[in-house]
Amino acid sequence: MAKKQSFTDKMSKKKGSGAAHCPVCDEILTPVRVREFATEGGRRRQVTRMVKLCKCNSSEIYG
Ligand SMILES: [Zn+2]
């Protein structure tokens, strides 16, 4: 999962300007904010992370 994400990241960086497309499904990658929990010093904290969303990972993110 992590490998796939970094691969997508690399490809979108390469293209540079304009909307990034997913190299797998060729959909435009939509940046979305996902909330998740991070543990910091024994305390659970909610953090927001930006994720580029397309067909490939939409089910992963939205469950
Ligand atoms: Zn995709």
Model confidence pLDDT, tens digit, residues 24-52: 999 999 999 989 899 989 999 999 999 99
CA of 29 to the centre of ligand 1 (A): 8
Query: Which of 43, 45, 27, 25 lies closest to 35, judged by CA?
Result: 45
**Per-domain boundaries in the chain:** 2-62
Record the pTM.
0.52
Which residues, at least 6 apart from 56, have a Cβ–Cβ distance to it below 8 Å?
Answer: 4, 8, 22, 24, 25, 27
CA of 43 to the centre of ligand 1 (A): 34
CA of 63 to the centre of ligand 1 (A): 16
CA of 39 to the centre of ligand 1 (A): 30
